[in-house]
A = this chain, B = another copy of it.
Amino acid sequence: MEESVRIFSPATVANVACGFDILGLALDNPGDEVIVRRKAGSGIVIRNETPYTNIPTDPDANTIGVAAKAFLEHLQSDAGFEITITHKIKPGSGIGSSAASAVAGVFGINLLLGAPRTKKELVQFAMHGEKAACGSAHADNVAPALLGGFVLVRSYQPLDVIRLAFPDTLYIAIIHPQIELKTADARKVLRTSIQLKDAVKQWGNIAGLVAGLARNDYPLIARSLEDVIIEPVRSLLIPGYEKVKQAAIEADALGCSISGSGPSVFALCETEAIAHRAAIAMEEKFSDLEIDSIKYISKINTEGVRALE
């Protein structure tokens, strides 16, 4: 049996404009690297090798630890693991940092124990980490981080996770403005009730997006990438948002919206060249406001979390 495994766990874009809490997609870049090692005795030890150090290594305060312990408890296993994290996805970026960690932990432990559970079965345990990170056990980051591709969380009770068909040519541009925005705060600004007429628009768009992705209908995908419920509220927390979005659309992106709860903004693009143009255009708009930003260009990652080497 293997004693240690090195893992790549991808960043993810949740919501994808119209799919609040139900849609997410996985990226090839960035992603976290995590090493999971068996250790003597039981329990979880977390080591952080990230250059910045504000990550709790107490397993009960760290998303990896919470997810890993929930998984081991489910397996009734008293095995022990040391988990070493090198974060490349910045915490608080809105591209699934906590999900990538939680996913890497449960995936690595599962591998070292001889893979008793499928990737889909791991979603529920990784969700425990999300709950610890932001107070809400959502699956729209952990499910794509595990499974890769464009993932629909059709239902939470019971959990029903579905990989959607999508054009394999799609590229994503991500721009991460260096401003702080906590997921829990981004959730607080949301209203608990919404207008039925707005909900009708939203489910028209989500249906259009799923249909467009399934048949490579780019104009339909573009028309459907519209969020009338969440974006109008959350975008107020991101300085210059409207101009950033407009710049991406003018660079020929199919659509542009907030990644998860932000502050990162994503643009879905037909080609790599368009994604580059969109990323540069978005970066310039933040730069105009003297906000530094980090950009990523990525294909959609079709495999999800994986062992390296």
Question: Which A positions have Cβ atoms within 8 angstroms of B?
Answer: 18-23, 152-155, 160, 162, 164-165, 190-197, 199-211, 214-215, 220, 223-224, 229
Contacts and interface: CB of A to CB of B under 8 A. Distances in A.
A197 B229 CA distance: 12
A278 to B, nearest CB: 24
Given A193-B195, A223-B154, A202 B204 contact: no
List 7 A-B pairs, minimum CB-CB distance, nearest first.
A154-B208, A214-B214, A210-B210, A199-B199, A22-B204, A154-B204, A203-B203
Contacts of A23: 207
B192 A19 contact: no
A199 B201 contact: no
A190 B196 CA distance: 9
A192 B192 contact: no
A162 B214 CA distance: 13
A204 B152 CA distance: 7
Nearest to A138: B200
Nearest to A217: B162
A206 B208 contact: no
